[in-house]
Structures are given as structure tokens and as C-alpha cells.
Amino acid sequence: MLFTKMHGLGNNYILFDLLDNPVNVLQEQDYPELSRKISDINFGIGSDGIILICSSEQADFKMRIFNEDGSEAKNCGNGLRCVAKFLYDHQYAQATHFTIETLGGVVNVEVEVNNNQTVEYVTVDMGEPKLLKGMIPMKGDPFSAAINETYTFGEEAYNLSCISMGNPHAIMFVDNVHEIPLEEIGPTIEYSKLFPERVNLSIVHVKNRKELDYRVWERGSGITMACGTGSCASVVAATLNDLLDKNQPILVHLPGGDLTIRWDEFGHVWMRGKASYVCHGELDNVFNLNNNNQKLGGMM
């Protein structure tokens, strides 16, 4: 199997091109296990999951993403930027505007090309945020929103604003994102019965009305360097809490770098940022499940 490893601000994925490489096509049930094995830093390559680049009947292209634990994600902003760059740089996409189907819906992307005719920046129309509890989903009145509501997990109470950007996010506003024990509260909230499909947890500090500091616990992957959909959801949540102004570009500082997010006057959320290649390679002995000491593959 041929792969490309890419990252969007340190949120890294192993991409498999199913458009032009039939060797990468497996049985449907094999992809979750493939993601678990490849994501393992000790016996695999090490990543936050895998992405399949496929043909689509609804859009120009299709992206499927499997988390580190093998669960399939509905959307991923950093993954979308990686896929958009891959598609244009490898000449699948002939125009700088095209569409990508995700499990969470079809999104529009625009790439900005440098002097080498490769993609420098990617802007993604992430669509409209879903605010109702029934659409996130979370327990409670399905026709009400969860903006700055107090919830108790164990013995601790937290104020959360919950939003879906194609996948569910709970946002917590704090004074310092580095003082929050994300590795402790992240899994507690992710697996809470409040969220029937689990949830991503974003920890956010509003520095001013144009900047956010951000950390994230992603469902299925744990602490990661960046989360595009979470950054979008955080800007929406901060705006609804009157901490930011709508239709203004907001600079979001993530551990892996910066994104620019704008919630426009028509209700759509736009994300602009970079994506980068790490390496290309080939896997062998992918499904040797009985020998964990067998390397998954070599990088070329």
C-alpha cells in the first residue's frame, strides 16, 4: 500500500489515494484496524488517524477519515486542508475551487498557489454551525441550544457551549489553556452519557476580540496539536457568548500553529491555514496481527 503522511499544524494523518491506486483498496471492515495499527507510534507509523481519498457522486472528490482508535469521523478541518493540497498538487483538481464530500456533508475549498505552483494556503467553507442539542447530538431538549450551560461530570461542574461543525464539540472558556488538566477532563467529558456519539473538548482563552488561545482533546485520538472544526466551533461559541464580533477574521493560536477563522454574515464559517507533507512511503505486512514486533512498513 502506498501512503502519504501530511499534517495540518501538527494534526497528522496518513493519506491513501484510492483514486488512482487500486493497491490501496481494501475490504470495508479492514480500514478501522488499519487506522489503529498505522497510528501506533511504536509499531506503526504514528498519526492521529488515516484518510482515504475517494471518488464521489455528490462532489468533485470524497474524503473518509478514521481516528486513531478506528472510529470513523464525520469531518476534520485539518484533514480537509491536507486533502485539498494533495488533490491540487497531484493534479487531480484542475481548478483552484472544488468540492470535497465528507461524512458530515459537502464542503467547498479554495487553494492559494505559490510560485512553485503548489498549494500554500487552503480556505475551506466549513458550512453553518449546528446549535440545537438534537443536531449535535447531546441529551436534553433537542430544539434548544447549549450556550454557556453548566454540566456536572463526576464531582466537577463546568460551563460548556456545545456546537456541531459536522462533528460534535464542547467548548470551555478559561483564563489559561495551559493550566487545565486536559488529559484528565478530556476523556471524562468525551465519554459522558450527555453525548451519545461522544464529543471533542475544546479549551479556549479569549485574548481579545481578534485572538483565541486553543487546546483540544479529540474524540478517538486524545490530545492533538490542532483541530480545524474545533477552532471553528470555538469562534462560533465565543461569538454567541459576546466575546467576539461576527464576520471578523479571528486568529486562533493552536499548539501546532495558527488558523484564521471567520463566521460570516450569512452564517457560514470559513477556515484558512496551511497543510504540509511529511513523507511518502509504502506499507507491507499490514495485517500481520499476531506479531506486534513486525514493522508495518518502511518510509521511502
| 3-state SS class at 194 | coil
Residues annotated as catalytic (active site), given as ranges: 76, 227
Name beta bridge partners: 300. Answer: none
Can you tell me the distance from the alpha carbon of 179 to that of 206, in angstroms, rounded to the nearest whole number? 15
Q: Is the pLDDT of residue 234 over 70?
A: yes
In this structure, what is the dihedral angle of CA atoms 117, 119, 121, 123, given to the nearest 10 degrees? 110
Task: Give the residues across from 132 on adjacent strands.
Answer: 145
| Whole-number Å distance between alpha carbons of 216 and 88 | 29
Name the residue ranges covered by the structural domains of the chain.
2-125+276-299, 133-267
CATH 3.20.20.10 correct for 133-267: no
Give the pLDDT score at 291: 41
Indicate the Cα dihedral angle 265, 58, 21, 287, nearest 10°. 90
pLDDT at 254 over 80: yes
- The Cα–Cα gap between 176 and 31 comes to 38
- pLDDT tens-place string over residues 106-123: 999 999 999 988 999 999
Angstrom distance (rounded) from CA 96 to CA 70: 32
Do the Cβ atoms of 14 and 66 come closer than 8 Å? Answer: no
Using a pLDDT cut of 90, give the percent of the chain over it.
Answer: 86
- What's residue 260's pLDDT? 97
Of residues 25 and 196, the one with the higher pLDDT is 196
Query: Would the CA dihedral through 234, 189, 215, 230 be positive or negative?
Result: negative
Given CATH 3.30.420.40, say whether it is the number of domain 2-125+276-299.
Answer: no
Tell me: pLDDT of 294 over 60.
Answer: no
- Fold: same for 2-125+276-299 and 133-267: yes
What is the pLDDT averaged over residues 20-40? 90
Condensed to tens digits (0 to 9), the pLDDT of residues 258-291 reads 999 999 999 999 999 999 999 999 987 665 533 4
Q: Tell me the C-alpha distance between 288 and 119, whole Å.
A: 37
pTM as predicted = 0.87
Tell how far CA 300 is from the center of its chain. 27
* 191-201 mean pLDDT: 96
